[in-house]
Structure 1
């Protein structure tokens, strides 16, 4: 089954305001039919994926979690990668997470 991505824009001040020391927070929602086992965010200028932001946890279908990117960078533009229990891997590139505030995976 192929997963499709949906990005929901919400008020920046609600979810994506940088926390402290350039940390970036946003809401990650899994509305797909498969469990999210890995979630990676790297600055769009990077050639490599950073560590798994779920940190050994999973995000089951129908759940959401606040994700913090604490890389110390001043950018808002990130590439995102989701790895699912059913084997699907999805990438979405050059997203402005400061503007979005929320990112949703759907079928």
Structure 2
């Protein structure tokens, strides 16, 4: 069965903008200019759907730079915390039972 993707949304730049721009560059490979434009466009999607672990790592890099980022399940659109489990307890709308959904259980 196909796994859902998880994407990272940049919600706020935080007070350390230059560090956040460097974090965006490290995650996306964008130029300095495009990274700044992306940061100034918050809230904005930073990554394409990826594995849960990769999305959590990218959100952690942004958080370490002072930015606020969230991880969203591509199928159920629920916010997933970086530590474990969803922040939104609604059931998964994907093709599997709740206990099998990667966004529903601890990571």
Interval of TM-score (by shorter of Structure 1 and Structure 2): 0.3 to 0.5
Structure (1/2) with the larger helix percentage: 2
> What TM-score do you get using the length of structure 2 for normalisation?
0.34
**Structure possessing the higher relative contact order (Cα contacts under 8 Å, 6 or more residues apart):** 1
Structure (1/2) with the larger strand percentage: 1
- Find the structure with the greater CA-based Rg: 2
